[in-house]
Structure 1
Amino acid sequence: MGEGLQEGRARRASGWFGMVVGVGVLLIVLGVWNALDGLTALFAGGFVVADAERVVALDVAAWGWVLLAIGVVEVIAGIALFIGAGWARVVAVLVAGLNGIVQLAFLAAYPVGAILIMVVAAVVIWTVVVHGDATRV
């Protein structure tokens, strides 16, 4: 039993423990941001057309529900990453991948923001896949 505890401490001492915890914090922040965006969209309602050539009309209320749901899932997964839950790693990869893919739709309208979010999603996916078990005790 003593060896298992020492292994857990050795894993926590690695530099990747902090990176995985940082990704968990990032997921929580993104989740809160998405939830707030979702609530704002629900209260605003209507449709948005950024440019007829770039972005198709978007039902803001429907998108608000999607953002709210994704935000809640991101917050829960971010918290669960702290304790090393295996399902949280799967959810984090899926949500980050989905978020990265969705940003392709907004690339023409918001290029800097979309590319930044895609890069962050790639970092989240890489960190969780390669070093996600650093928080397991």
Structure 2
Amino acid sequence: MTATPPAAPQAAKHPWAGGVTVFAGVMLMIAGMLSIFRGVMGIAQDDVFVATRSYAFQFDLTGWGWVHLVLGAVAVLVSMGIFQGARWARIGGVVVAAFVIIAGFLSLPYSPVWSVVLIAFSGLVVWALCVLAREDVYRSGGPGLR
């Protein structure tokens, strides 16, 4: 009888997987920090942003500041979990990045360039975390995350 070798760590099976995880964590950290800065700007001085009258989604800019501040703080915390390799952080990273994308879209007329940057960073986070999750599905032979 031969003993089966222990399962190799994820990074050993797919050398790029560790890089994608770090990429997702860094991008989520950057998006979170940008969202925090945006939130502080909205709370401290809501006259920093241009208020449009004919936008379908009109909200108080101070309220949007709080939304961005909270989303940014959660994104930074989840990115720390991604660096630790936590499974909850991968799922949470996709959810938080999706909320950052939605918040960025809804506040697009107030700061278009900043919103597009946040949407792009968050889209890259979703991509990176889903690519890694898809590899887990293929490797484990079943649906869902292990």
2:39 is aligned with 1:3: no
Q: Which segment drifts farther, 96-105 or 109-118?
A: 109-118
Which structure 2 residues correspond to residues 43-62 of structure 1 after superposition, within 5 A? 43-45=44-46, 50-54=51-55, 57-62=58-63
Task: Kindly indicate whether structure 1 or structure 2 has the higher relative contact order, using CA contacts under 8 Å at least 6 residues apart.
Answer: 1
1:32/1:43 CA distance change after superposition, 3 Å: same
SS at match of 1:53: coil
| Count of aligned pairs between the two proteins | 132
Query: One-letter code of the match for 1:72?
Result: A
Could you tell me the TM-score, scaled by structure 2's length? Answer: 0.70
1:108/1:55 CA distance change after superposition, 3 Å: same
Q: Give the equivalent residue in structure 1 for 2:37.
A: 36
2:86 is aligned with 1:73: no
Query: One-letter code of the match for 2:44?
Result: F
List gaps (5 residues or longer) in structure 1: none
Could you tell me the TM-score, scaled by structure 1's length? Answer: 0.74
Q: Which segment drifts farther, 66-75 or 51-60?
A: 51-60
State the alpha-carbon separation in 1 of the partners of residues 29 and 106 from structure 2.
23
2:96 is aligned with 1:95: yes
Tell which structure's C-alpha radius of gyration is larger.
Answer: 2
The percentage of aligned residue pairs carrying the same residue is 27
Question: Structure 1 or 2: larger helix share?
Answer: 1
State the alpha-carbon separation in 2 of the partners of residues 114 and 53 from structure 1.
18
Task: Answer yes or no: is the 8 Å Cα contact 2:75–2:96 preserved in 1.
Answer: yes
Task: Answer yes or no: is the 8 Å Cα contact 2:90–2:129 preserved in 1.
Answer: yes
Stretches (4+) displaced over 6 A: none
State the alpha-carbon separation in 2 of the partners of residues 15 and 8 from structure 1.
10
